[in-house]
Amino acid sequence: MLLGGFINSYGQIITITEKEANEPLELVTLLSESPKIYVATNAKGQADLSGFTDSEKIAIQTFGHKIVVKSYAQLKADNFKVAL
């Protein structure tokens, strides 16, 4: 339990939820061309964005939802929370 708190406190963990149901979305893909990196959310709708800190455009996409493009700075300003 303590380790999970440590990771969430110091890592850049994003949480992605479904807007209508407010449920976590699994397998949402986050992609950046520069630097070239991608991650997918887990069952809790979470993914580590540590490698995206220099990204100006991060595409957030999953089946059945509109693609959202935000910068790392925008995601940080939104407290690393996105509702699709």
Task: Please state whether 55 falls in left (phi above 0), alpha (psi between -120 and 50) or beta.
Answer: beta
Q: 11: pLDDT confidence band, cut at 50, 70 and 90?
A: low
Closest by alpha carbon to 60, among 32, 23, 35, 33?
A: 32
**Which structural domain range is residue 31 located in?**
2-83
Q: What is the tally of structural domains in the chain?
A: 1
CATH classification at residue 72: 2.60.40
Q: 10: pLDDT confidence band, cut at 50, 70 and 90?
A: low
Say if residue 82's pLDDT is above 90.
Answer: yes
Tell me, what's the pLDDT at 9?
45
Q: 5: pLDDT confidence band, cut at 50, 70 and 90?
A: very low
- Containing H/E element for 73? helix 72-77
Give the chain's mean pLDDT.
89
